[in-house]
Amino acid sequence: MKNRTLVLIAIIILCCGCEETNFEPETYNFRFEQLPGCQTLVYNNLEKAGADSCFNYSFFEKLVIEFCVSGNCCPDSNRFAVESKALGDTITISVQDTAANLCRCNCNYIILTEFQNLTGNNYFVKCTDKESGRVLYLKEVKRR
| Contact call for residues 143 and 60 (beta carbons, < 8 A) | yes
* pLDDT for residue 50: 46
Q: Give the residue from 130, 107, 110, 129 showing the smallest Cα distance to 54.
A: 110
What are the extents of the domains in the chain? 29-142
Q: Along the 144 residues of the chain, how does pLDDT read in single tens digits?
A: 554 544 344 444 444 444 444 566 777 889 999 888 887 654 444 444 444 568 999 999 999 999 999 888 887 677 889 999 999 999 999 999 888 777 888 888 899 999 999 999 999 999 999 989 999 999 999 999
pTM, full prediction: 0.73
Q: What is the pLDDT of residue 35?
A: 86
